[in-house]
Structures are given as structure tokens and as C-alpha cells.
């Protein structure tokens, strides 16, 4: 595989289970050393897409390569070069951290297992806990154990399925620092997540809904592609104002963010006219334009999909 070649390049991937079309014509490209994030509602096809990209699941149709190998014809070759971390902790809770890692090293038939395990323990800060039973670990330490096991065989590609679910913010931050260290060393990472702060730390993103890839690119490219304009409203009775604004001219969505109501739409002039009327009727209301953020964009994608139009109703 050429150093400049994409790690993953696929086109027109489809997958069905029975009568359910789970992934529909997905095409994308992942570069070496890139952290590529997948976002979307539960059941949207994220995990199925990731598994097809890495040769872990055979598509019904479509073509592509992963690590220079054909995802259909050479899936066995791909699997040997991929580290896969599932959402659910899948190691042996009645074994110590060291025993778990040693068992995984045996499965890979790795020579000099003790040295390999020692290095994995050191790399993930697990040495001082090596004799602790896995079942007694907190969520953050279980996460470190799972990542250490994924990295034992020196994979070129890391596949992470919602790896920080149920993990405290400090452990999540440490985990993402480790991912960026690995990416800086040339490893590519595919990760599914529901957290916006994690999405913003990815180099590229893809948003999937009902099996369709609705948007992909950097966080800023996705925000810019939707052409959303957003205003922040602060004052009294924001919940009531949110209800009143739904269906008003130019209003695509209303979302409460802390002490402010954020209102977005794709027609700037129409939305501003609606908010001007609202401000005139509510003198104590503060209304100001703000930058549209990634979270606004994904809320819009969740509710509108790829072909939504702003409402043309009237403000009550």
C-alpha cells in the first residue's frame, strides 16, 4: 500500500438484513492518520457501515479498498491489520489486566508475549494496575484495557464503536488525547460517537440517518454546507417562545441551550423578519445573531434529513 494512498476508499456500499435496507449507497474516503467520526441516531447504520468499510461485514453491493485490500475479496487480510473495540466491555472480568492482555497476545500468536504486554501496559498507563481484576475496574480503566488489547498487534487501523459511552468526562478527555497521539503516529481511526465535543475533535465526520450518508467533511465544512443562520434569544418564558416560533416563517428549528433559545433557519431575511416582529412584541427580549455550531447542524440533520424545507407558517 502506497504511503499516499487512502486508508479506506469505498463507493456505493449497500447492506440489507432481511427486508430492512440498513446502509444505502455509502461512499467515502479516509486518509492515513485521520480520525474519522460517524454520527447518527441509534439504528441509523453507523456500526454496519464501519464494519463494511473494514472488511468485517460483506456488503451486498458496492466496491472499495481498506489498507490496500479489496473489502470483499480480501477481508481476511484486512482483519489482521485492524484493531476493533466494541461498545460493550468484552474482556474476562475474573482475570487481571495482565492476564487479559496475555490471553489476547496468545490469540495473535505473538512472540515474546511478556515484552509485548509490558509495553502495552506502559503505553496506556496500566502498569501499576496490572494485577487488578478487570471486573473491579471503573469505566475509564476498562476503556484503557480494551484499547490496550486493540493495539497489541500494532494495527494500522483502529475501529471504535462508541468507545466512551458511560465513561466520565475526565476519562473521555484522556482517551481522546491518546487517539490523537496514535493518529499523529500514522494510525487511522474510525469512531462512532454521540458526543458533540468528541465529534469536533475528529479530523473528518460523516452523518448517517436511515442508512443514508447525509453529510461528510470537516466540522466546519458540514456546518457551512447546510447554510443555516442562527440567532440567540435571552429573556423570560423561553419555553413558551420556542413553542410559538415552531412553524413560523423562516424558522427551521428552535433549541434551548442553557439560558438561551437558539433559533435557526436557511432563509436569513425571512427568519430575521420573524424575529424582528417577535422582538417588537416582547421589549425585554434580547435577540442577537450567533455563529452556527456543529451541534445546531446535527440537530437540523436529525430533524430535517437531506431534503427539508423551512416552514411557511405564521407566527402565532
Dihedral (CA of 277, 278, 284, 288) sign: negative
Share of the chain above pLDDT 90, in %: 65
Instruction: Work out the pLDDT band at 304, boundaries 50, 70, 90.
Output: confident
The verdict on residue 107 lying in a domain is yes
The verdict on residue 31 lying in a domain is yes
Kindly tell me if the per-residue pLDDT of 310 is higher than 90.
no
Residues 130 and 239 in one domain: no
Mean per-residue pLDDT for 8-36? Answer: 94
Last residue of a domain, one of 203, 222, 241: 222
**Residue predicted with more confidence, 26 or 50:** 26
**Residue predicted with more confidence, 312 or 27:** 27
Mean per-residue pLDDT for 141-165? Answer: 89
The verdict on residue 243 lying in a domain is yes
284-to-44, 233, 241 alpha-carbon distances in Å: 42, 10, 13
Query: What is the grid cell recorded at 183?
Result: 493518529
Judging by beta carbons within 10 Å of its beta carbon (0-12, 13-18, 19+), is residue 16 exposed, middle or buried?
middle
Q: Using CA atoms, how far apart are residues 152 and 119, in angstroms rounded to an integer?
A: 9
Beta bridge partners of 133: 96
Mean per-residue pLDDT for 300-313? Answer: 57
Instruction: Work out the pLDDT band at 315, boundaries 50, 70, 90.
Output: very low
Kindly tell me if the per-residue pLDDT of 316 is higher than 80.
no
pLDDT at 258: 87
Concatenated DSSP letters of the chain: --TTS-SEEEEEEEEEETTEEEEEEEEEEE-TT-EEEEE--TTSSHHHHHHHHTTSS--SEEEEEETTEETTT-HHHHHTTEEEE-SS--S-TTSBHHHHHHHHHHHTT-SSHHHHHHHHHHHTT-GGGTTSBGGG--HHHHHHHHHHHHHTT--SEEEEESTTTT--HHHHHHHHHHHHHHHHTT-EEEEE-S-HHHHTTSSEEEEEETTEEEEEE-HHHHHHHHT-EEEEEESS-HHHHHHHHTTSTT--EEEEETTEEEEEES-HHHHHHHHHHHHHH-TT-EEEEE---HHHHHHHHHHHTTS---------
Residues 143 and 124 in one domain: yes
Dihedral (CA of 82, 84, 90, 92) sign: positive
Residues 204 and 240 in one domain: no
Kindly tell me if the per-residue pLDDT of 133 is higher than 60.
yes
Query: What is the grid cell recorded at 181?
Result: 497521539
The verdict on residue 312 lying in a domain is no
If you compute the radius of gyration of the chain from its CA atoms, what whole number of angstroms results? 23
Residues 196 and 259 in one domain: no
Mean per-residue pLDDT for 189-200? Answer: 89
Instruction: Work out the pLDDT band at 180, boundaries 50, 70, 90.
Output: very high
Residues 204 and 280 in one domain: no
Residues 83 and 178 in one domain: yes
pLDDT at 138: 87
Mean per-residue pLDDT for 209-226? Answer: 93
Last residue of a domain, one of 177, 200, 222: 222
Mean per-residue pLDDT for 180-200? Answer: 91
Beta strand 61-66 with 69-70 is antiparallel
The verdict on residue 89 lying in a domain is yes
pLDDT at 1: 59
Last residue of a domain, one of 202, 222, 242: 222
Residues 83 and 197 in one domain: yes
Q: In total, how many domains does the chain have?
A: 2
pLDDT at 308: 37
Residues 216 and 261 in one domain: no
Residues 111 and 248 in one domain: no
Report which of 79, 129, 138, 61 is spatially closest to residue 99, judged by C-alpha positions.
Answer: 129
For residue 149, what is the domain's CATH number? 3.40.50.300
Share of the chain above pLDDT 70, in %: 95
The boundaries of the domain holding residue 262 are 227-304
Dihedral (CA of 153, 193, 172, 100) sign: negative
Per-residue three-class SS string for 43-68: CCCHHHHHHHHCCCCCCCEEEEEECC
Kindly tell me if the per-residue pLDDT of 313 is higher than 80.
no
For residue 265, what is the domain's CATH number? 3.30.70
Residues 146 and 236 in one domain: no
Instruction: Work out the pLDDT band at 252, boundaries 50, 70, 90.
Output: very high
The verdict on residue 86 lying in a domain is yes
Mean pLDDT taken over the chain: 89
Kindly tell me if the per-residue pLDDT of 89 is higher than 80.
no
Residues 218 and 235 in one domain: no
Judging by beta carbons within 10 Å of its beta carbon (0-12, 13-18, 19+), is residue 240 exposed, middle or buried?
exposed
Amino acid at each position: 500500500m502506497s504511503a499516499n494512498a487512502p486508508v479506506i476508499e469505498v463507493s456505493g456500499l449497500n447492506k440489507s438484513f432481511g427486508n430492512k435496507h440498513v446502509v444505502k449507497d455509502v461512499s467515502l474516503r479516509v486518509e492515513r492518520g485521520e480520525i474519522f467520526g460517524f454520527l447518527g441516531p441509534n439504528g441509523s447504520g453507523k456500526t454496519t457501515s464501519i464494519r463494511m468499510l473494514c472488511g468485517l461485514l460483506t456488503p451486498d453491493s458496492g466496491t472499495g479498498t481498506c489498507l490496500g485490500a479489496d473489502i470483499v475479496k480480501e477481508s481476511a487480510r484486512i482483519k489482521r491489520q485492524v484493531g476493533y473495540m466494541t461498545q460493550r466491555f468484552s474482556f474476562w472480568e475474573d482475570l487481571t489486566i495482565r492476564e487479559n492482555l496475555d490471553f489476547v497476545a496468545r490469540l495473535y500468536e505473538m512472540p515474546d508475549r511478556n515484552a509485548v504486554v509490558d509495553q502495552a501496559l506502559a503505553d496506556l498507563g496500566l502498569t501499576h494496575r496490572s494485577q487488578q481484576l478487570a471486573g473491579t475496574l471503573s469505566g475509564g480503566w476498562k476503556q484503557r484495557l480494551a484499547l490496550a488489547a486493540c493495539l497489541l498487534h500494532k494495527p494500522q487501523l483502529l475501529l471504535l464503536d462508541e468507545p466512551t459511552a458511560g465513561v466520565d468526562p475526565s476519562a473521555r478527555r484522556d482517551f481522546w488525547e491518546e487517539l490523537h497521539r496514535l493518529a499523529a503516529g500514522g494510525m487511522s481511526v474510525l469512531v462512532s460517537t454521540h458526543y458533540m465535543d468528541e465529534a469536533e475533535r475528529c479530523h473528518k465526520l460523516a452523518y448517517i440517518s436511515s442508512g443514508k450518508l447525509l453529510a461528510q467533511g470537516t466540522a466546519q465544512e458540514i456546518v457551512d454546507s447546510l447554510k443555516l443562520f442562527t440567532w440567540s434569544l435571552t429573556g423570560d418564558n423561553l419555553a413558551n417562545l420556542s413553542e410559538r416560533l415552531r412553524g413560523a416563517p423562516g424558522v427551521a428549528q428552535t433549541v434551548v441551550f442553557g439560558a438561551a433559545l437558539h433559533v435557526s433557519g436557511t432563509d436569513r431575511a425571512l427568519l430575521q423578519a420573524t424575529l424582528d416582529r417577535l422582538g417588537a412584541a416582547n421589549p425585554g427580549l434580547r435577540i442577537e445573531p450567533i455563529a452556527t455550531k456543529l451541534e445546531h447542524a446535527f440537530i437540523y440533520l436529525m430533524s430535517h434529513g437531506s431534503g427539508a424545507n423551512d416552514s411557511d407558517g405564521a407566527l402565532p
